[in-house]
Structure 1
Amino acid sequence: MARWEPGARERIVVAAVDLFTEQGYDDTTVAQIAERAGITKSTFFRHFPDKRELLAAGQETLSRLLAEGIADAPAGASPLEAVAAGLTRASDEMGPTNRELGPRISAAVAASTELQERAVLKNVGLAAAMTEALLARGTTDPVAHLAAELGVLAFKRGFAEWSEGDRDGTDHLAPYTLAALADLRAASSSLG
């Protein structure tokens, strides 16, 4: 096994998702993931503190992209227009691997209480990053929190629809997340 092969992090995630799909999250060990990825256990631990963190891979990057998109939105943008800019920035970074793994990761999360708890924490982190970016733009606290929560929900809904869609299509994620945000905006207006 090579110690520093390029792409080790992605190979670890793919190997883990494959094993979670085949035998379940609870029955998959770090040693099995490392073996499937063609790395050592110590290399696994250089990339991830434990197997639970595998399914949160990229959370920091996603939070950063969402926040950067919000920060870079035009000065006169409304809070939801800024969130849309964040969704676009983050969505533009999602590629075929994200699309392929999405449904399998969702299935692994649905089958494990531990992973469901981790997914909730991930959503909290994404909302916090967007809230901070909106507050930095001068958005009031309650509006920033609400817009950020809508952004998280739009990303989740858009990603689910995109990843379940036509695998050989060349469509991008951004239209899905933006459509989900528009739907949520329309739905919120009917709350009264």
Structure 2
Amino acid sequence: MARWQPGTRDRLQAVSLQLFAEHGFEQTTVAEIAAAAEVTERTFFRHFADKREVLFAGQDDFVALFTDPIDQAPADTPPFDLVARALQHTGAFFADDRRAWSRLRQPIIEAEPSLRERELGKLAMATVRIGEVLRARGVPEPAATLAAETGITVFHLSFQQWIAPGETRSMEAITHERLSALTELVHPGH
């Protein structure tokens, strides 16, 4: 087995996802993943702490999708516009070339209670961090928490639509649609 092939991490993720989809998350072993990817188990563990990390790698990057645009916004940007800015930024990360991966990943997570819990924890962490960044910018309570919670709800609803069978619109278009619906709900006629 080759030890340091280019693209090993990506190959491990692709093979893992396929095996999880075919055999189930709990039934798939690290040894099976490594063998299918033509690497050693040791190589697997150089890239991932455990098989859950294959599905959840990049948590800090995920949170930064929301917090970086807020941090970089002009000082006088209203809270709702900060959240809208963060949500629009997620469209670049969730580009069309990531849709197939996300569509395959989501049923694996939904089928396994511990993975669903981890996914909810990831969203909760993003909510907490958004709230912290908003408060650091001077957004008072309860507005900071409401904005953070609302932003993650809009993201979650947008993401679920983006991975829905037959959906072809961009994440950015779907997010914009949901933000518009929220605006109409809060301020009818605007």
Please state which band the TM-score falls in when normalised by the shorter chain.
Answer: 0.7 to 0.9
Q: Output the aligned Cα RMSD.
A: 2.2
Q: Quote the residue 2:177 is aligned against.
A: 179
Q: Judge conservation of contact 1:69–1:85 (CA < 8 Å) in 2.
A: yes
TM-score for the superposition, normalised by structure 1: 0.86
Answer whether contact 1:150 1:181 (CA < 8 A) is retained.
no
Output the CA distance in 2 between the equivalents of 1:189 and 1:20.
44
Decide whether the 8 Å contact of 2:91 with 2:172 is kept in 1. yes
Q: CA deviation at 1:147?
A: 1.1
Contact 2:102/2:163, CA 8 A, preserved across alignment: yes
**Distance (Å, rounded) in 1 between the aligned partners of 2:8 and 2:19:** 16
Provide the residue aligned with 2:62 in structure 1: 62
Structure 2 CA distance for aligned equivalents of residues 151 and 39 of structure 1: 40
Task: Please tell me whether residue 15 in structure 1 is matched to residue 15 in structure 2.
Answer: yes
**Bigger CA radius of gyration:** 2
Shift in CA distance, 189/12, structure 1 to aligned 2, threshold 3 Å = farther
Question: Structure 1: which 5+ residue stretches go unaligned?
Answer: none
Q: Please show how residues 121-136 of structure 1 align to structure 2 within 5 Å.
A: 121-136=121-136
Aligned residue pairs total 188
- Distance change >3 Å, CA 38–CA 156, structure 1 → 2: farther
1:43-63 C-alpha deviation (Å, 9 max, x unpaired):
221222111222212221111
Distance 1:103 1:136 in 2: 35
Partners of 1:28 and 1:189 lie apart in 2 by: 49
| Equivalent pair of 2:96/2:170 in contact (CA under 8 Å) | no
- Cα distance in 2 for residues equivalent to 1:187 and 1:34: 50
